[in-house]
Chains A and B, each alone.
Chain A
Amino acid sequence: MRTAMATAVPRWVWLATVVAVLVTLVLAICIGAVYITPADIWSTIAAQIFGDKHGENNAYSTIIWQLRLPRVLLAFLVGSILASAGCAYQGVFRNPLADPYLLGVSAGAGLGATLVIAYAGTTRDIYLPVAAFGGAIAAVSITYLLGRSAISGRSSTALILAGVAVASVLTAAQTLVQQQNTDVLREVYTWILGRLSTSGWSELLIIAPYILLCSVVLLQYRRVLDVFSVGDDEAQTMGLPVAQARGAIIVAASLGTAAAVSFTGLIGFVGIIVPHILRLVVGSSYRILLPLSMFYGGIFLVLADILARTVLAPQEIPIGVVTALLGAPFFLFVLGSRRSGSIT
């Protein structure tokens, strides 16, 4: 008799994923206002790592170390956490429309950022990420407390509705601030559409610990997300402490998302499209979906960023616009070619 094992990511998929990540990263470092060949990238990186100054090109070194590498890694990390947080939200709410902004992260971050842009004056660069992060965390906390007290923590619908209510209030407040300060409209709008421009490594180093920690926590819950898929009632009778597990997953996903949006603004679409494309290709077990969402979310955003900074160069297209323009048709293509596939 054949012995089946629990579903896990097959080895060849891991292999293909690692190759895809490497190719994407190299491509993203090559392409830009100055084209740098992979060989030059290698010699520059080797020079830095091994202290081998022979054949070093200072211009390349600056472009790679100060401009491209931090930006590419930032894109990868942000895409990764947005996709895996979206994937986790879809599982924990059993709702295919869930994205990482479901419980008010975007509205909270938006309000925080708008307040700083409108009123902080010259100190805005320092306080913008802090305010966006704080706004996001505050919004999710309010949503969670309201939703929980309404239904003693068991129904996910109450949480989603609380999220809608909190988001409406915060968005209204943000609109009011914006309308009172029309001179900063353009800047607010740029922030909301998302951007990946960095000033070296500082942003990356600040948010990387949050994102990595949240990713590790979410990964631990991949089997639990499968248990959620049979519904709250049965998951509970199977021994899952439903409210507690949902709380932990929401905290990890929200914290990671808040860290991501604090510097990059509201990059839409990654969190909803990447998990769904993977679902159509590899099935719906979260043991596979969650780890793959992390990698392909990163790849997707790095590729989107290449387009954002090259298509209208030297102008940059807002990254959120590219993710939507690129993601939606690709998703429809996958959907069309996999009619038998399931979305939920």
Chain B
Amino acid sequence: MGEWVCIIGPNGAGKSSLLKAIAGINSSTGDLDVDDVNLRELSHRDRACWLAYVAQEPIMPAGMKVFDYVLLGRTAHLKMLASESDLDIEVAHSAINELGLEAFLDRDVASLSGGERQRVAIARALTQASPIVLLDEPTTALDVGYQQEVLELIDRLCKENKIAVITTMHDLTIAGLYPDEIILLHKGSIHDKGKPEKVLTRENISTIYGANIEIVISNGTLAVIPVRLKS
């Protein structure tokens, strides 16, 4: 536990579909075993105690306050018609503190910027208190500063809170920067997997993405640099 696995692959390779299948949104075949528990056999609620999921662009219901939104993460721990206990309120507060969202408690979630939305959605996933968190393209809609902020945050949660994180990602340099392990998908099946430096090779990327790139390692950081085709 405490590992960050990243699913990469060209458009249409099935990154998001795989993540949604794991989350139980898409129907799928096969088993999903965690600690000898087959999550596919669990009810929605029991499964939600294992897995939290944040969509690529989470729906932010206009008019809902940040605190109420984060508190919705406790759904799996409540009977369907129950209201939240003091413990639930406390868990939501600690997730909010963890992500530095104290100043946003009363803000309308729909009025937040892209980076803030992503943090609020992650706070909701943390409130769910599941050991595994799935994030679909957590940085796609963000510019570079917010990207870094969100990625550092996910990394910290992963390492400090011992949460297993599974993300999809299309930015290969970021994929090389943070995750512990990478799964490269091609047309719906796994082409390669392993440490970033093993998977992110010139050969893999030119075959799968059809791209002409250069892998540069500077100061221990791996970067994927596109190279112009010389005529």
A146 CA to B75 CA, complexed, in Å: 29
Tell me, rounded to whole Å, the shortest Cβ–Cβ distance linking A319 to chain B.
Answer: 30
A341 CA to B51 CA, complexed, in Å: 35
A7 CA to B89 CA, complexed, in Å: 11
Say yes or no: B63 contacts A234, CB within 8 Å. Answer: no
Interface residues of A in 329-344 (CB under 8 A from B): 341-342, 344
Say yes or no: B93 contacts A237, CB within 8 Å. Answer: no
Bin chain A's interface residue count: 20 to 34
B-chain residues with CB within 8 Å of residue A33 when the two chains form the complex? none
Closest partner residue, chain B, to A245 (CB atom): B80
Interface string of B33-69 (1 = CB under 8 A from A): 0000000000111111101111100110111110111
Tell me the interface secondary structure of chain A in the complex. Answer: loop
Given known pairs A238-B48, A342-B62, the reply for A4 and B106 (CB within 8 Å) is: yes
A6 CA to B83 CA, complexed, in Å: 9
One of A103-111, A165-173, A278-286 at the interface = A278-286
Tell me, rounded to whole Å, the shortest Cβ–Cβ distance linking A152 to chain B.
Answer: 8
A213 within 8 A of B: no
Say yes or no: B81 contacts A224, CB within 8 Å. Answer: yes
Say yes or no: A241 contacts B62, CB within 8 Å. Answer: no
Interface residues of A in 28-82 (CB under 8 A from B): none
B102 within 8 A of A: yes
Say yes or no: A237 contacts B45, CB within 8 Å. Answer: no
Say yes or no: B64 contacts A237, CB within 8 Å. Answer: no
Given known pairs A236-B24, A238-B128, the reply for A6 and B55 (CB within 8 Å) is: no
B-chain residues with CB within 8 Å of residue A245 when the two chains form the complex? 80
Given known pairs A223-B83, A234-B55, A285-B68, the reply for A6 and B43 (CB within 8 Å) is: no
Say yes or no: B64 contacts A227, CB within 8 Å. Answer: no
Given known pairs A226-B68, A234-B55, A239-B49, the reply for A284 and B25 (CB within 8 Å) is: no
What are the 7 A-B residue pairs with the smallest beta carbon separation, nearest first? A239-B76, A284-B63, A239-B48, A342-B62, A229-B61, A237-B53, A239-B45
B-chain residues with CB within 8 Å of residue A237 when the two chains form the complex? 23-25, 47-48, 51-53, 134
Tell me, rounded to whole Å, the shortest Cβ–Cβ distance linking B65 to chain A.
Answer: 6
A5 within 8 A of B: yes
Closest partner residue, chain A, to B46 (CB atom): A239
A4 CA to B95 CA, complexed, in Å: 13
A231 within 8 A of B: yes
A233 within 8 A of B: yes
Bin chain B's interface residue count: 35 or more
Say yes or no: B110 contacts A342, CB within 8 Å. Answer: yes
Tell me, rounded to whole Å, the shortest Cβ–Cβ distance linking B126 to chain A.
Answer: 12
Tell me, rounded to whole Å, the shortest Cβ–Cβ distance linking B105 to chain A.
Answer: 5
B72 within 8 A of A: yes
A240 CA to B45 CA, complexed, in Å: 6
Given known pairs A236-B44, A237-B25, the reply for A6 and B84 (CB within 8 Å) is: yes
Given known pairs A3-B89, A4-B105, A7-B65, the reply for A241 and B80 (CB within 8 Å) is: yes
B-chain residues with CB within 8 Å of residue A283 when the two chains form the complex? 63-65
Tell me, rounded to whole Å, the shortest Cβ–Cβ distance linking A186 to chain B.
Answer: 44
Tell me, rounded to whole Å, the shortest Cβ–Cβ distance linking B37 to chain A.
Answer: 16
A-chain residues with CB within 8 Å of residue B52 when the two chains form the complex? 237-238
A-chain residues with CB within 8 Å of residue B179 when the two chains form the complex? none
Say yes or no: A234 contacts B59, CB within 8 Å. Answer: yes
A157 within 8 A of B: no
B-chain residues with CB within 8 Å of residue A230 when the two chains form the complex? 58-59, 61, 69, 72
A231 CA to B54 CA, complexed, in Å: 12
Interface string of B92-120 (1 = CB under 8 A from A): 01000100001001101010000000000
A239 CA to B67 CA, complexed, in Å: 19
A239 CA to B102 CA, complexed, in Å: 26
Say yes or no: B105 contacts A238, CB within 8 Å. Answer: no
Say yes or no: A285 contacts B64, CB within 8 Å. Answer: yes
A242 CA to B43 CA, complexed, in Å: 12
A241 CA to B76 CA, complexed, in Å: 10
Say yes or no: B53 contacts A224, CB within 8 Å. Answer: no
Say yes or no: B81 contacts A221, CB within 8 Å. Answer: yes
B20 within 8 A of A: yes
